[in-house]
Amino acid sequence: MKISEIQQLLDAKVHCGQEHLDQEVSSACGSDMMSDVLAFVKDQAVLLTGLLNLQTVRTAMMMDMKCIVFVRGKVPDANTIELAGQSGIVLMSTENRMYQACGKLYNAGLYTEGSEQ
């Protein structure tokens, strides 16, 4: 699935990384606990979270994620946007809650490793 499709499915606003919207991603995860992302997530290209700080971007960088979607309408600050932009990570915000956003992506065929139907 292209990141641009995720943007459309979630009616998300892009904060940075517009030039990367054509990148393909094959998996996603949702978590507000970055320690869980580091410990349990592997090969996830998209992170959905309500945690709005620089550590979220740093975690995504360590895990080679391509996109972060902030749920519940949260908007990152300028420092977060700048760090993500320098790292080539797409940042988006959606009004959807975590459960809704994950469900929409799952129903559209974006899974986590080992969760395929």
How does pLDDT run across 23-67, given as a tens digit for each residue? 999 889 999 999 888 887 777 789 999 999 999 999 999 999 999
- Does pTM top 0.95 for this prediction? no
Cα separation, 101 vs 38, in Å, equals: 21
Band (pLDDT 50/70/90 cuts) for residue 8 is: very high
Q: Kindly write down the DSSP assignment for every residue of 40-85, as one continuous string.
A: H--S--EEEES--SHHHHHHHHHTT--EEEE-TT----HHHHHHHH
Mean pLDDT, the chain, as a whole number?
Answer: 92
Q: What is the mean pLDDT of residues 82-95?
A: 97
Residue 38 belongs to a domain with what CATH number? Answer: 3.40.1390.20
Whether 10 and 3 have beta carbons less than 8 Å apart is answered as no
Residue 113 lies in a domain: no
Report if residue 79 sits inside a domain.
yes
pLDDT reported for residue 57: 96
Residue 104 has pLDDT above 80, yes or no: yes
Question: Does some domain include residue 115?
Answer: no
Q: What is the structure's pLDDT at 113?
A: 57
User: CA–CA separation, 111 vs 26, rounded Å?
Assistant: 7
* Residue 114 counted as domain residue: no
30 occurs within a structural domain: yes
Q: Does 60 reside within a domain? A: yes
Q: Are strands 46-49 and 67-70 parallel, antiparallel or unpaired?
A: parallel
Total domains, the chain: 1
Domain housing 37: 3-107
Q: Does residue 94 fall inside a structural domain?
A: yes
Structural tokens at position 94: 């959606």
The reply to whether 20 falls in a domain is yes
